[in-house]
Amino acid sequence: MMYLRGYVSLYPNFPNQASFSTNHMEPGAHISAKDNVVRHDKADFEVPLLNQDFRNLLPNGKLPPASKLPSLNLFNQALSLKGLKAAGAKLGQDVLECRPTERVMVDHETGLPSHCAAF
């Protein structure tokens, strides 16, 4: 739904791979699956947590405007925020035809597109 609505996520890259969160490792899904021939150590999925004020790591101590940050589409290709929104809207119309003033809404039980609603 984020893609359909043209929303984006911010993924900061801090020194030493520090992060606001670390990965959850689910046996059977990510590791130890029957057909997974690669053996993994839990440390392969963990990164150090950032536990300090990170403003000094940002240019001039602040985050640049969203319009100045690079954005990538689902295929890891650079695209403007306007381009991302247009691509999502086009796909949204292919999934469920809505008027330009409406957005595709999702059924929270199934996660599938359910209806159009004013936005």
**Tens of pLDDT along 86-99?**
888 777 777 767 88
Q: Are 74 and 3 in contact (CB under 8 A)?
A: yes
Report pLDDT for 34. Answer: 65
Residue boundaries of the structural domains of the chain: 2-118
| pLDDT confidence tier of residue 77, bands split at 50, 70 and 90 | very high
Mean pLDDT of 2-12: 82
Burial (CB count <10 Å: 0-12, 13-18, 19+), residue 19? middle
Mean pLDDT of 27-46: 66
pTM attached to this predicted model: 0.54
